[in-house]
Amino acid sequence: MEKQKVRIQDDLFAYVNGDWIEKAVIPDDLPSCGGFADLDIGVEKTLMADFSDMATGKKPIPNKYMGDAIKLYEKGLDTTRRNEEGISPLLPALKEISSIENVGELNEKLKEFVLKDWPLPFNIGVDSNMKDTLHYAAVLSGPRTFLPDTTYYFKPELKAQKEALTKVFSSMALALLDFTPLSKEEKSLCLKDALAFDEIVASLVKSQEEWSEYTKCYNPMSEKAVADSLKPLDFDGLLQGLFGKTPSEIIVYEPRFLEGFKKLFTEESLSLYKHWAYLKLLLTSAQYLSEEMRTIGSTFHRALSGAKVDASITKQAYRSASSAYSEPLGIYYGQTYFGEEAKKDVVSLVKDIISTYERRMEKNDFLSKATKEKAILKLKKIVIKMGYPEKCAKMYERLTTHVDSSFYEAMSVIAEEKNAFIMSRLYEDVDRGEWIMPGHLVNACYNPYTNDITFPAAILQPPFYSIKQTRSENLGGIGTVIGHEISHAFDNNGAQCDENGNLNNWWTEEDFGAFTKRTKAMIDEFDGIPFAGSKVNGAFVVSENIADNGGMAVTLDIMSHLKDANYKEYFINAAKVWCRKARPQFLQLLLSIDVHSPAELRANMQPRNFPEWYKTFDVKSTDKMYLAPEKRVDIW
């Protein structure tokens, strides 16, 4: 008997992607395939071939940046040297941590720890000032936990998962500690103390849901108040060492962490911290050491993602070089594989979507005239970054890959050079021309603090976009993505930033209340949906759902003005871009750490909010993809 195909009115995602999903095989070293993942795989395959050809002289190396990236790639490939060296490149750093006998000695090393990315009980950085985005500010946050989110530590329903993950983590940690000079008793104590310290960290730092409300990170405090809270650590001395002078104000991302810092770190808890830092550095560094250590060090990641094997050494070498020299590589990819015709076409589409958004904002029925004028001004000031930047950011001028260094040493030096550059910017003006995504990344983003949208060259491929696709297909693909990113300017976070990217309340109280009511409706639409053995947290994913909703609303508006509009093509391609087959462990992980709704729901939920869906496929109240009119949400 022939298998009956699911009806489109009952499950758009399965109707469009079901046959492919049934036949697709997830690569052993990956947690998922399809959609974004398959484009990532294709881009990686192309660039890995180019790296190989450049390393062997079959292709010319285009510039110094790429030359250094190739040197780093070759170091990663040199398993003979990596295996011979084993843990030896890391031992000086581990020894330096274990030799600290008191807080005074740690204070003398704080700057070194920050620049070298060695674990400290707090994180200090430099980022744009949310209320004055033309200038930078010093920012402070807490460290991250061993498990993916604080919810694993304290939610009763995740107790079994926590115990299982902690068991895997502990086994991996002890296996890596076997490579160190510590005695058996010291290894056991190191793990015990590290886990104890981690539990305290988890009680103080934000959950991923809390981080998703990023405008709440703006908590300016006097430097003196922060320094007093961080005692006995010498925060004043650290700032002097990093910046040459002490900034008067620190932006505290996690006030609860700072208030409870003395629960985490005191003279008496120094040994707990030392063992936590020792183990954490060992875990993060294992990937750059021997093959055996690299494989052991990825055990926990594989348990979280469900991947069956570690990535090949060739992939790891490429990915390390790609991470270190991401912008130069993105420019190379864009210049080599991205066509000007496509760039012009997509820029035109972006401008069309922005102008349509302006028109829709003018007709908005829940905002006052003053608020609408501010919103339209914000739309008019959006900067479009398409494909790839014209030149590399200044930071890459500092990076070097030394011929004689080990792979670990080379990666460490690059990290230190990047950190030194970031710290050096505190008293400079923000460079708004910088890109926050490289050209070879299959993604897109909106930056609320510069009010710009970025579309890397790599995402401008089918099914998202092709000159050969119909306008309806492109609107359902890249069009909804463009609309999504623009809508982030007016999601629950972006709506609190003005046209210049500054955190600034430009709403009337009544208007923001009306928007909040609609935001609550979007939370309710998704909250509690069963998925992957758990449930969707509507508040956690609301900003991305608002953006998805806006992206579909504005592109359907454009569709209504197309002479040859084909709504079937539009909805089918809108579902095709979310095609995905994923391992169960990975789906469970994403529910805890990803601010986006599951791909299946992104395909199926938003169409229900719009009348075009019902008209196109004659969807009735008896169909599974029907939503009662009073429950439909259409914000922008």
Within a 10 A sphere around the Cβ of 92, how many other Cβ atoms? 9
Q: For 251-320, give the DSSP string.
A: EES-HHHHHTHHHH--STTHHHHHHHHHHHHHHHHGGGS-HHHHHHHTHHHHHHH--SSPPPHHHHHHHH
Q: Which helix (H) or strand (E) holds 195?
A: helix 184-204
CB distance 137 to 161 below 8 Å: no
206 has a pLDDT exceeding 80: yes
Q: Which residues in 123-142 are b (16+ Cβ under 10 Å) and which e?
A: bbbbbbbbeebeebbbbbbb
Q: Which amino acid is located at 92 in the chain?
A: P
Q: Residue 341: pLDDT above 90? A: no
Give the domain CATH number at 287.
Answer: 1.10.1380.10
CA distances from 613 to 470, 518, 604, 617, 629 (A): 19, 21, 11, 6, 12
Task: Write the DSSP string, 478-530.
Answer: IIHHHHHHHHGGGSTTGGGB-TTS-B---S-HHHHHHHHHHHHHHHHHHTT-E
Report the pLDDT averaged over residues 499-506.
Answer: 95
Cβ–Cβ < 8 Å for 486, 632: no
What mean pLDDT is reported for the chain?
96
**223 an active-site residue?**
no
Q: Are residues 545 and 494 in the same domain?
A: yes
Q: Does residue 117 have an active-site annotation?
A: no
Q: Is 239 inside a domain boundary?
A: no
> pLDDT band at residue 439, thresholds of 50, 70 and 90?
very high
Number of domains forming the structure of the chain: 2
Q: Read off the pLDDT of residues 23-76 as tens digits, 9 standing for 90 and up.
A: 999 999 999 999 999 999 999 999 999 999 999 999 999 999 999 999 999 999
Residues 480 and 620 in one domain: yes
For residues 275 and 273, give the distance between their C-alpha atoms in angstroms, rounded to a whole number. 6
Residue 3: the pLDDT is 53
Q: What is the pLDDT of residue 4?
A: 63
Q: Report pLDDT digits (tens) over 481-499.
A: 999 999 999 999 999 999 9
Choose one of 270, 299, 324: the last residue of a domain. Answer: 324
Question: Over 419-452, what HEC string results?
Answer: HHHHHHCCCCECCCCCCCCCCCCCCCEEECCCCE
Decide if 559 is inside a domain. yes
One-letter identity of residue 154: F
Is the same domain home to 348 and 204?
no
What is the rounded CA–CA span in Å between residue 414 and residue 269? 32
Residue 113 lies in a domain: yes
Catalytic residue among 68, 85, 310, 485: 485
Structure confidence at residue 403 (pLDDT): 85
pLDDT of 81 strictly over 80: yes
pLDDT on residue 340 = 86
User: What is the model's pLDDT at position 293?
Assistant: 98
Last residue of a domain, one of 299, 324, 349: 324
Q: What is the mean pLDDT of residues 197-218?
A: 97
Write the DSSP symbol of residue 608.
Answer: G
CATH label of the domain that carries residue 475: 3.40.390.10
What phi and psi values does residue 530 have, to the nearest 5 degrees? -65, 135
257 falls within a domain: no
**For residue 66, is it within any domain?**
no
Residue 370 and residue 294 in one domain = no
Is 367 inside any structural domain? Answer: yes
Kindly name the residue from 38, 548, 569, 600 that is annotated as catalytic. 548
Q: Is residue 477 part of a domain?
A: yes
The mean pLDDT of 411-421, rounded to a whole number, is 97
Note the pLDDT of residue 154: 93
pLDDT at 2: 45
Structure confidence by residue, pLDDT tens digits, 255-312: 999 999 999 999 999 999 999 999 999 999 999 999 999 999 999 999 999 999 999 9
Q: Are residues 285 and 382 in the same domain?
A: no
Domain that holds residue 178: 91-125+144-209+262-324
Same domain, 304 and 443: no
Tell me whether residue 382 is in a domain: yes
Tokens 């991205």 locate to 338
Same domain? 597 vs 550: yes
Measured in degrees and rounded to the nearest 5, phi and psi for residue 117 equal 65, 30
Same domain, 28 and 163: no
pLDDT interval class at 339 (50, 70, 90): confident
Helix (H, G, I), strand (E, B) or coil at 89: coil
Alpha helices per DSSP H over 363-406: 369-380
Q: What is the CA radius of gyration of the chain?
A: 25
Quote the tokens at residue 605: 């939920």
Say if residue 29 is in the same domain as residue 156.
no
pLDDT at 338 over 80: yes
pLDDT tens digits, 399-409 = 999 889 999 99
Whether 35 and 173 map to the same domain: the answer is no
Q: Is the domain of 288 the same as that of 354?
A: no
Where among 272, 293, 324 does a domain terminate?
A: 324
Report DSSP state, residue 631: G
Say whether pLDDT at 130 is over 90: yes
- Sort residue 534 into left (φ over 0), alpha (ψ -120 to 50) or beta: beta
Same domain, 504 and 436: yes
> Which residue bears the tokens 């209320």?
131
